[in-house]
Amino acid sequence: MTATVPSPVSSPRGLRREAIVESLLADVFQGRLRAGQHLVTQELADRYAVSHTPIREALIALAGIGIITLAPNRGAIVRQVGAKEVREVCQVRKALECEAVRLASGRIPPAELQALAVELKKLAGRTGANGLRQVAKARELDSRLHDLIADASGNQFLKQELNRLKLLFRAFRDVAWEHDGAHNDFHRLTEEAYEHVVIVEGLLANDAKTASRAMSRHIRSGMVYWSRALTASTKQM
């Protein structure tokens, strides 16, 4: 199971923990580590070719992010990723993203927004032809928009929180993706592009209310979509 991806880590001293955190996050994102799975430090240490000390530290950090839970003297297990969790995280994310949009409204350089709008429309126009390329593009634009907003909110702490939530959400989405197969998701991606356009247009018009409502709808529809994808294909425990 874990042997499929050896994933050795050769980071400079002091950055190993961080590298391991990222790699483990990716493992969860891409379904190599499943919910409920027990993580054994020694195994991970072997796999990453480091001692178990940095592994342990990485696990503590992951527990802080909320990806795994740590039980004293019992180690780490990957958190359940069910429809309930998706809804919960999305609810929180919605509240924060909307706040960020309100704060950011009128503070983002219009040039950036224009450029983004152009690319989004181009993406939304193409109906799901050549897959993976478009998926990558969509995700990049998504990231760019949300980062732009978080930056412009002028609230460092909020930005940091949003980033954490984005990571969590990505974990959920990627698990669902794997379960569900890809073909439906192309549709969702173009839908998302349209939603993004509405948000960007709201921001361009300096209309905080509209933009924040669009953001709310955007996240809600993501929530509905991905939580459904999860329930559809997972036999919950």
Partner DNA sequence: CATTGGTCCATTCTACAGAATCCCTTGCGG
Partner DNA sequence: CCGCAAGGGATTCTGTAGAATGGACCAATG
Number of C-beta neighbours around residue 4 at 10 A: 7
Please identify, among the stretches 39-47, 54-62, 129-137, 219-227, the one whose residues bind a copy of itself according to the rule CB under 8 A.
Answer: 54-62
Give the x/- contact pattern for a copy of itself in 161-200, rule: CB under 8 A: x---------------------------------------
- Residue 75 interacts, among a copy of itself, DNA, none and using kind-specific CB cut-offs from 5 to 8 Å, with DNA
Our CB check for a copy of itself shows the closer of 26 and 92 to be 92
160 near a copy of itself (CB under 8 A): yes
Question: Considering only residues 16-35, where is the footprint of a copy of itself by CB under 8 A?
Answer: 17-18
- Asked if 192 and 139 touch (Cβ cutoff 8 Å), the reply is no
Give the x/- contact pattern for a copy of itself in 63-82, rule: CB under 8 A: xxxx-----xx---------
85 near a copy of itself (CB under 8 A): yes
Q: Is 112 exposed, middle or buried (0-12, 13-18, 19+ CB in 10 A)?
A: middle
Instruction: Choose which of 22, 43, 46, 99 interacts with a copy of itself (CB under 8 A).
Output: 99
98 near a copy of itself (CB under 8 A): yes
| DSSP codes, 38-80 | EEPHHHHHHHHTS-HHHHHHHHHHHHHHTSEEEETTTEEEEPP
Instruction: Give the residue ranges of DSSP H helices in the chain.
Output: 16-29, 41-48, 52-65, 83-104, 110-125, 131-152, 156-180, 183-204, 208-233
Instruction: Choose which of 4, 14, 130, 237 interacts with a copy of itself (CB under 8 A).
Output: 14
224 near a copy of itself (CB under 8 A): no
- Asked if 195 and 101 touch (Cβ cutoff 8 Å), the reply is no
Please identify, among the stretches 60-68, 123-131, 197-205, 225-233, the one whose residues bind a copy of itself according to the rule CB under 8 A.
Answer: 60-68
Please identify, among the stretches 43-51, 129-137, 149-157, 179-187, the one whose residues bind a copy of itself according to the rule CB under 8 A.
Answer: 149-157
Our CB check for DNA shows the closer of 71 and 132 to be 71
43 near a copy of itself (CB under 8 A): no
What is the C-alpha separation between 150 and 122, in angstroms, rounded? 24
List residues binding DNA (CB under 7 A).
11-17, 38-42, 50-54, 56-57, 70-76
- Asked if 223 and 88 touch (Cβ cutoff 8 Å), the reply is no
DSSP strand pairing (68-71 vs 75-78):
antiparallel
151 near a copy of itself (CB under 8 A): no
Strand order in the sheet with 75-78: 38-39, 75-78, 68-71
Nearest to 120, CA basis, from 102, 140, 95: 140
Site residues (vs a copy of itself, CB under 8 A): 13-15, 17-18, 53, 56-57, 60-61, 63-66, 72-73, 85, 88-89, 91-92, 94-96, 98-99, 103, 155-158, 160-161
